[in-house]
Structure 1
Amino acid sequence: MGIKEVLYLARVPSILMLGVVYVFYVLIGGVVFWKLEGDLGKKDISRLLLSKKKLLTMYTCLNQDGMEAVAQVVQDASKVGLSLKGNYTSDGFWKFTSSAVFAATVVTTIGYGNISPSSTAGQIFCVFFALFGIPLNMVVLNRVGKYMLALERNISDFLEGKTGRRKCTRFFVHLVSYLSGAVLFFVVPMIVFQEHEGWTFSQAIYYCFITLSTIGFGDFVADSNPDKVYPEWYSVLMACWIFFGLAWLSLLINHSIDILERLSAHLKQRWTRGKPQEGSGGAKDGDPETQETQLEEEDEMKKTPIT
């Protein structure tokens, strides 16, 4: 059996171990969410049932059918962005600025779910718009991420030439880059959202991460409260924040993936190096085929991951 076949077989235990870790991590997350939110959800249901009972008792002319009709009106109004708290009318969700932000959430796969096309033509257009827009968005974000990475490397190389310390300089540049990105894409938006949306700081930071990671639950959505009047620049600023924040967070995630892959390759290399090889009395460090395989893995690790 050749060395390449042995290395190929050595990947199987690592894949199984990675799969076990992945499933275990998801199950642990499910248990934590169950314990944190399960009791609270039961309390919310009990509170809503009590409020419903009080409402039916207070308004005797309102029966179960009337309650369902009112609930349907409220649900339909929330879908189109209409406020029922006053007698004034609003433009709803489908203004130009809101529609542009919705188009951005489609191509970035955020998909809050608070707004969606209801007409047949709009739904069909959304399919084709996303079909071509999602790859285009990935290419653009990948290019922007590469420019960010190139800017970091240029600054790092410049400082290396001045100080002569490579590791310390690169660590300092990456640290400053991460902290600057955290302030620009998390701290500053958190303050803006707290001011214009009325959220707490924890809700704002939660919304920032859920949006930039493209999870997009839709429980908190900026620029969507029909009871508030937002300035014209608010939607434009939010769209720019989403685009550049996605590129920065994708770059940060790619750095984390690169670190994990390097760690996995290092552990796999140590594991395969400690096992005897068939037919050759054990692979030596000076074996040309082994060196070639290691060089190929290192070159693969050095490539910039695609966002």
Structure 2
Amino acid sequence: MEIKEVLNLARMPSILMLGVVYVAYVLIGGVIFWKLEGELSRTDISQILNNKQRLFKTYTCLNQEGLQDVAQMVQAASKAGLSLKGNYTTEGFWKFTSSAVFAATVVTTIGYGNMSPSSTAGQIFCVFFALFGIPLNVVVLNRVGKYMLAIERNISDFLQEKTGRKKCTRFFVHLISYICGAVLFFVVPMIVFQLHEGWTYSQAIYYCFITLSTIGFGDFVADNNPDRSYPDWYSVLMASWIFFGLAWLALVINHSIDILERLNTHFRQRWCHEPQEESGSGNDNNPETQVEDVDGLKKPPETQ
């Protein structure tokens, strides 16, 4: 058996362990969601059935078919962005600002689901728009994230020259960067959404993370309530927050991935007795070393 095959067999326990951890993590999450939301869901369903019976008793002329018509009308009005509280008409969802935000949610793959194209031409255009827009968005966000990391490294190098402490300086620069990013992309938007959307602080912070992580459930969507009037700058601010927030959170996730890979390498070397990798080979996936690949950021060699 060749040496390469032996090394591949040595990695198998590590891969299996990682797969078991992943499956266990998903299953534990499913159990917790089931326990937290399952009982509440059953209560909500019984409440809805009671409200349905009370509705039939209150409006005796309304039958099952009429209730379905009302539900379809409410659903159509909600999708169009029209208010049911008054007899006035609005522009609905498809005005310029909200359409631009929708385009941003398409290329970032957030996909709230609160609005979607209904015409054949709009659906076909959405396919091609996403086909070219999603890779473009990944490239741009990756470049912006690298520039953010480059600024962070330059500050760290400057402070390191002044203090002479490499590890402590880098740790505190990372910590301050994370705190500033959390304030800028989570705390400040949380306050803005609480004021303009009427959400609680927990709902606002939940919406911030679900959006910036591109999970996009769609249960909470900003600039979406037809009964509220939003200022003109609100959609522009929201689109800017989504773009830069995605870049910052992707950078944080890359750091987390690097930490997990380092832990995986450490446990693999300890349990599988694999030879330690050379220090130069393990830095290829480190996001800090990738900054040097950005155009214009790599320092030219010194000439004597």
- What TM-score do you get using the length of structure 1 for normalisation? 0.91
What residue number does 2:302 align with?
A: none
* TM-fit CA distance, 1:60: 1.2
The one-letter amino acid paired with 1:130 is A
The residue matched to 2:202 in structure 1 has which SS?
A: helix
Q: Is the 8 A contact 2:255 2:287 kept in 1?
A: no
What residue number does 1:9 align with?
A: 9
* Structure 1 residues 305 and 38: alpha-carbon distance in aligned structure 2, compared to 1, 3 A threshold: farther
Q: Could you report, residue by residue, the CA deviation over 1:110-153 in whole angstroms, capped at 9, with x for unpaired residues?
A: 00000000001000000000000000000000000000111111
Task: Report the Cα distance in structure 1 between the residues aligned to 2:106 and 2:211, rounded to whole angstroms.
Answer: 12
Q: Is the 8 A contact 1:110 1:215 kept in 2?
A: yes
Q: Could you report, residue by residue, the CA deviation over 1:88-116 in whole angstroms, capped at 9, with x for unpaired residues?
A: 11101100000000000000000000000
The one-letter amino acid paired with 2:109 is T
Task: Report the Cα distance in structure 2 between the residues aligned to 1:301 and 1:7, rounded to whole angstroms.
Answer: 21
The one-letter amino acid paired with 1:257 is I
Q: Is the 8 A contact 2:11 2:272 kept in 1?
A: no
What residue number does 1:49 align with?
A: 49
Q: 1:1-307, aligned counterparts within 5 Å?
A: 1-273=1-273, 294-295=278-279, 297-302=281-286
What residue number does 2:296 align with?
A: none
The one-letter amino acid paired with 2:169 is T
Task: Report the Cα distance in structure 2 between the residues aligned to 1:109 and 1:232, rounded to whole angstroms.
Answer: 25
Q: Could you report, residue by residue, the CA deviation over 1:273-301 in whole angstroms, capped at 9, with x for unpaired residues?
A: 37xxxxxxxxxxxxxxx67x535641334
* Structure 1 residues 62 and 85: alpha-carbon distance in aligned structure 2, compared to 1, 3 A threshold: same
* TM-fit CA distance, 1:304: 5.5
* Structure 1 residues 303 and 184: alpha-carbon distance in aligned structure 2, compared to 1, 3 A threshold: closer
The percent of aligned pairs where both chains have the same amino acid is 77
What residue number does 1:282 align with?
A: none
The one-letter amino acid paired with 1:298 is G
Task: Report the Cα distance in structure 2 between the residues aligned to 1:126 and 1:198, rounded to whole angstroms.
Answer: 31
**Equivalent residue pairs, number:** 290
Q: Could you report, residue by residue, the CA deviation over 1:133-182 in whole angstroms, capped at 9, with x for unpaired residues?
A: 00000000000000011111100000000001111101100000000000
* TM-fit CA distance, 1:303: 5.2
Task: Report the Cα distance in structure 1 between the residues aligned to 2:50 and 2:41, rounded to whole angstroms.
Answer: 14
The residue matched to 2:284 in structure 1 has which SS?
A: helix
Q: Could you report, residue by residue, the CA deviation over 1:236-293 in whole angstroms, capped at 9, with x for unpaired residues?
A: 000000000000000000000000101111222233437xxxxxxxxxxxxxxx67x5
* TM-fit CA distance, 1:305: 9.3
Cα root mean square deviation, aligned:
1.6
Task: Report the Cα distance in structure 2 between the residues aligned to 1:273 and 1:55, rounded to whole angstroms.
Answer: 69
Task: Report the Cα distance in structure 2 between the residues aligned to 1:141 and 1:112, rounded to whole angstroms.
Answer: 20
- What TM-score do you get using the length of structure 2 for normalisation? 0.92
Task: Report the Cα distance in structure 1 between the residues aligned to 2:278 and 2:7, rounded to whole angstroms.
Answer: 10
Unaligned runs of 5+ in 2: 291-304
Q: Is the 8 A contact 2:149 2:288 kept in 1?
A: no
* Structure 1 residues 296 and 5: alpha-carbon distance in aligned structure 2, compared to 1, 3 A threshold: farther
What residue number does 1:284 align with?
A: none
The one-letter amino acid paired with 1:302 is N
* Structure 1 residues 156 and 296: alpha-carbon distance in aligned structure 2, compared to 1, 3 A threshold: closer
